[in-house]
Structure 1
Amino acid sequence: LDPGSSDTSETSIIQAKLNRRLGPEYVSQRPAPGGGPKLTYVEGWKIIGLANEVFGYNGWCSTVTKIETDFIDIDPESRKCSVGVTAVVKITLKDGTYHEDIGYGSGENIRSKGAALDKAKKEAVTDGVKRALRNFGNLLGLCLYEKLFTQEIVKIK
């Protein structure tokens, strides 16, 4: 993706890939917090792999622009830690196009504050990467926001 290039064939190829929806092999489900309907999602490593396939391993990068601890709670009896962290992640393509989004991570009832923060930060950054990448198109997770698509894709799986 060279912004100075008049050749749009590379951009057209990338756009065509991004317009495709995810196959069932990429989609997972887990129980929703609080017992609601199951959440449909794609694991972080799968989305990163797809981004590498679409943009090339050197065609994009991620930057954590902000990371913030929302809370740290220590149970007075068990001394276990629970933490919440938010991270703002920016995905930039080699032509300068970018999307930015926020991710959230938590560490619940973990023995050490350091381990709880480590888990929560990794989760928050991964969530931010996934949420920012989905803004590029269906193949990178946008299709998971279409209720009908998610209902049908889990039936195939």
Structure 2
Amino acid sequence: VSPYTAQQIATLQSKLNKQLGPEYLSQRAGPGGKKVHYIQADKLINLANEVFGFNGWSSMIKNVSVDYLDFDKNNGRWSGGVSVTVRITLKDGSYHEDIGYGSMENGKTKAQVIEKAKKEGTTDGLKRALRTFGNVLGLCLNDSDYMAKVSRVKSVPVQ
């Protein structure tokens, strides 16, 4: 039995179907010098709290896998990459999970590389899992028509 009423499910679906306003988006340089839009993790967590309620969802790290960890004898630096599977579970038990990836090149210590890669991979996994719930949690960032429209709008970022 779902803890959500039919009305709550309809309201939740309505919230999830909304697209992100440009104030939630950040940009960084991507492959080939193109701009890549993304939503910062803290903003996404706040949105998830608004949509599901602060106690209406949880996240869990299901798996962490070190994909590579190399030491360069020539420069004494470490490089590594980590895959992290993250599950987002709603209060009714429904869930989505996805894999995030994090890496660091030329770190001073092995621990520094592993720590950064795990944090980055966990954040990426969290963002990727949340987006599967709907547009307002980042799915709209994969919609080329939406991105073409929102890219033309100037706005002040949300703090």
TM-score normalised according to structure 2 size = 0.92
SS at match of 1:15: helix
Match of 2:64 among 44, 64, 67: 67
Give the structure 2 partner of residue 28 of structure 1.
Answer: 26
Report the RMSD for the aligned CA atoms in angstroms: 1.3
Instruction: Specify whether residues 4 and 47 from structure 1 end up closer, same or farther in structure 2 by C-alpha distance, changes over 3 A only.
Output: closer
- Cα distance between partner residues in 1 of 2:3 and 2:112: 46
Quote the offset at 1:4 in angstroms: 5.4
Deviations 1:83-125 (A, max 9, x none): 1000011100000110010000011211011011100000101
Quote the offset at 1:73 in angstroms: 1.6
Deviations 1:49-103 (A, max 9, x none): 1001100111000111110000012221221111100001110000011001000
TM-score normalised according to structure 1 size = 0.93
SS at match of 2:152: helix
- Cα distance between partner residues in 2 of 1:148 and 1:11: 27
Q: Are residue 48 (structure 1) and residue 41 (structure 2) matched?
A: no
Give the counterpart letter for 1:75 in structure 2.
Answer: D
SS at match of 1:82: strand
Give the counterpart letter for 2:40 in structure 1.
Answer: E
Give the structure 2 partner of residue 96 of structure 1.
Answer: 93
Give the structure 1 partner of residue 104 of structure 2.
Answer: 107
Quote the offset at 1:142 in angstroms: 0.4
Structure 2, unmatched stretches of 5+, are: 155-159
Structure 1, unmatched stretches of 5+, are: none
Percent identity, aligned pairs only, is 50
Give the counterpart letter for 1:95 in structure 2.
Answer: D
- Cα distance between partner residues in 1 of 2:3 and 2:108: 53
Give the structure 1 partner of residue 14 of structure 2.
Answer: 16
* Matched positions, count: 154
Give the counterpart letter for 2:8 in structure 1.
Answer: E
Quote the offset at 1:155 in angstroms: 1.6
- Cα distance between partner residues in 2 of 1:96 and 1:130: 19
Q: 2:85·2:125 contact (CA, 8 Å) conserved in 1? A: yes
SS at match of 1:41: strand
SS at match of 1:136: coil
